[in-house]
Structure 1
Amino acid sequence: MEHKSQQMGRVLIVAGSDSSGGAGLQADIKTVTMLGQYASTAVTAVTTQDTKGVSGVEAMPSGVVASQMRAVLSDIGADVIKTGMLHDAAVIDTVLAVIDDVAFDGDLVVDPVMVATSGSMLLQKSAIASLKTLISHASLVTPNANEAEVLTGRMINSVDDMIAAANDILETGAEAVLIKGGHLEGETVTDVLVSPVGECRITSDRIDTPHTHGTGCTLASAMAALLSAGLSLEAAFEKAHSFVHMAIKAAPG
């Protein structure tokens, strides 16, 4: 997952737009930029949402998604492709087809976005099989505990459950799995990074705040940015976790 030294890492973000600016492409671009790397995009959907929730989703045709990806990859290029909201099987299959067709040899970070913080579904249930195929090609997968349950069929109630689920996902072909534990109950939150070389846990005090919209997108895009800059997986995890934790603490209210 290490890249050659260059002025800026290049991250192609393939995800949905969030009109509130708190999650999705907007959060991804802000994060990659704040971490000193270059963000390009392929818009997969336009969502109508505010701080209260999602009120509309307009998915982009798969051909439009493909043309955006090809335009970026043939010109600017990318060290890392980071996927977020991929609404249906057609778009997921298209993303994988483009990656294969251009023989992309960088890292693929898959954030398996399924449900918005407000509870709105952002992934069609019929697309889960295609999502699992995409995940099998990933350098890193970043599900929260609820998403990991869907992907593995395993109930997750503890950190040990998270690690077991991560190993299940590794067995599908993914190179590394980062499961976010914020959805579990408790006064502390533990995120776990699991790869064939071992596991890494980071535990922090739970911050009592309603301002967690977009934190999953931000962590995944932080990982993508740091990997594009040449950091190791473990170093990227530590820095990305710290970045998100400080952002939550700094949120107003």
Structure 2
Amino acid sequence: MKNILTIAGSDSCGGAGIQADLKAMSAQGVYGMSVITAITAQNTEGVFAVQEIELDMIKKQIEVLYNDIEISSVKIGMLSSSDIIKTVHETLKEFNAKNIVIDPVMISKSGYYLLKQEAIEALKDFLKIGTLITPNIPEAEVLASMKILTEDDMIEAGKKIKSFGSKNVLVKGGHRDDSCTDILITEDDRVIRFTGIRFETKNTHGTGCTLSSTIASHIGKGLEIEEAVKLGKQYIETAIQNSFSIGKGVGPVGHFVELYQKAGVQFE
């Protein structure tokens, strides 16, 4: 079994962040481990507070794992400040971390800013260690400093983000009204389209975390980027199709559909 590490924030209601990452990793048949960068107080209605973990503790979490365990890939999620970004960046470089998937988390679905404005430039510099960057359209617009309305815009933005030094960029199209096609810009500058199915549901909490963790899991198992993205896309579509409500707001996607079915769970 491959060991996959997530470095991200904790979501107290379990739909996104570290909790979603570990669920998605387990569903792919890998062993998930976590380095927590921040604690959030959130539920299905939104994020209400964030407390960052001290830098020394973030660094120590990474160090003890790499000193003991062979880590096949890393998924990066919420890094809320430039100091946290720099700490994670320097520590991963120290251990020659490989197969790094960066999901540049900036704003929660409820509109809470999870990345401080002053940290954007540090994030851009951090992207150069990424094997794959997975921004959604709002995140890609910030990173590429441009408006994205069309598929051609997505390609242009992806190429701009790739120019920061990362090997591959996947611009996710779920925020567009007319399409949910994702576009992969590969290391050799190929443009690959992954068409998708849009499901009518409000319960999409944790989709970005789940997709990036799934892709990281498959890369860690030795798959090429294109195949890993393809499998990630298939998994997240099934998870969205089987999403469910747990509160008053945006519910989580179904990470363990087959296990729920075997257990006889029925969602209203």
CA distance in structure 1 between the aligned counterparts of 2:39 and 2:8, rounded to whole angstroms:
9
Letter of the structure 1 residue corresponding to residue 8 of structure 2: A
1:239 matches 2:231: yes
Q: Describe the SS at the equivalent of 2:181.
A: strand
1:119 matches 2:118: no
Residue number among 13, 18, 26 corresponding to 1:25 in the alignment: 18
1:79 matches 2:72: yes
> Greater strand share, 1 or 2?
1
Q: Post-superposition shift, 1:222?
A: 0.5
1:195 matches 2:189: no
Residue number among 27, 37, 46 corresponding to 1:34 in the alignment: 27
Residue number among 92, 100, 103 corresponding to 1:108 in the alignment: 100
CA shift digits 1:160-200 (9 cap, x unpaired):
111111111111110000111111112x3111111133121
1:170 matches 2:132: no
TM-score relative to the length of structure 2 = 0.89
CA distance in structure 1 between the aligned counterparts of 2:235 and 2:26, rounded to whole angstroms:
13
Identity of aligned residues (%): 39
Letter of the structure 2 residue corresponding to residue 127 of structure 1: A
Q: Describe the SS at the equivalent of 1:204.
A: coil
CA distance in structure 1 between the aligned counterparts of 2:182 and 2:45, rounded to whole angstroms:
26
CA distance in structure 2 between the aligned counterparts of 1:29 and 1:145, rounded to whole angstroms:
25
**Residue number in structure 2 paired with 1:4:** none
Residue number among 228, 242, 250 corresponding to 2:242 in the alignment: 250
- Greater CA drift, 204-213 or 36-45: 204-213
Q: Post-superposition shift, 1:252?
A: 2.9
Hey, which bits of structure 1, 4+ residues long, moved more than 3 A?
none
After superposition, where does 1:79-228 map in structure 2 within 5 Å?
A: 79-104=72-97, 106-186=98-178, 188-197=179-188, 198-228=190-220
CA distance in structure 2 between the aligned counterparts of 1:9 and 1:160, rounded to whole angstroms:
37
CA contact (8 A) 2:4 2:216 kept: yes
CA distance in structure 1 between the aligned counterparts of 2:92 and 2:228, rounded to whole angstroms:
23
Q: Post-superposition shift, 1:205?
A: 2.8
CA shift digits 1:32-67 (9 cap, x unpaired):
011001111110000010000001101101111000
Letter of the structure 2 residue corresponding to residue 83 of structure 1: I
Q: Describe the SS at the equivalent of 2:24.
A: helix
Q: Post-superposition shift, 1:100?
A: 1.6
CA contact (8 A) 2:197 2:237 kept: no
After superposition, where does 1:42-57 map in structure 2 within 5 Å?
A: 42-57=35-50
Q: Describe the SS at the equivalent of 1:172.
A: coil
CA distance in structure 2 between the aligned counterparts of 1:150 and 1:184, rounded to whole angstroms:
16
Count of paired positions: 244
Q: Describe the SS at the equivalent of 1:40.
A: strand
Q: Post-superposition shift, 1:128?
A: 0.5
CA distance in structure 2 between the aligned counterparts of 1:204 and 1:100, rounded to whole angstroms:
35
Unaligned runs of 5+ in 2: 246-268
CA distance in structure 2 between the aligned counterparts of 1:72 and 1:169, rounded to whole angstroms:
30
Letter of the structure 1 residue corresponding to residue 184 of structure 2: L
Q: Post-superposition shift, 1:207?
A: 1.0
What is the root-mean-square deviation of aligned Cα atoms in Å?
1.0
CA shift digits 1:65-99 (9 cap, x unpaired):
00000011111131111110001011000001101
CA distance in structure 1 between the aligned counterparts of 2:87 and 2:23, rounded to whole angstroms:
26
TM-score relative to the length of structure 1 = 0.94
